[in-house]
Amino acid sequence: FERELPGVDAFVCTADPWKEPPLLVIGTVLSLMAYDYPPEKLSVYLSDDGGSDLTLYALLEASAFSKHWLPFCRKFKIEPRSPASFFSTNPDPPLTSSQEWSTMK
């Protein structure tokens, strides 16, 4: 079934870190990356027309975080997959390992 799915390109555009806070922009990128879709068929792009250092730094941090967040979402079938939504509504979800939860927080 997955072989029949088309490739998907998702573009997130931003221009001004004061009007579009990097936390929200990066949350959008992470949410897209966490879609229940074959990772090899999903490409997510961030276009920062303002060339903000703050957005770049946030993206670098999100890249490191995504290496933990995406497998965590898949393993525990997390919904919604937006980090901000998840952490604001789940202070202590029942997990098999408190170490995994600490890694996410």
Binding residues for UDP-alpha-D-glucose are 19-20, 49
- Of 29, 85, 32, the closest CA to residue 56 belongs to 29
Which residue reads 């990097």 in tokens?
22
Residues placed in the known binding site: 19-20, 49
Is the peptide bond between 80 and the residue preceding it cis, with omega within 30 degrees of 0? yes
- Of 33, 28, 31, the closest CA to residue 13 belongs to 28
Three-state secondary structure call for residue 84? helix
The one-letter amino acid at 75: K
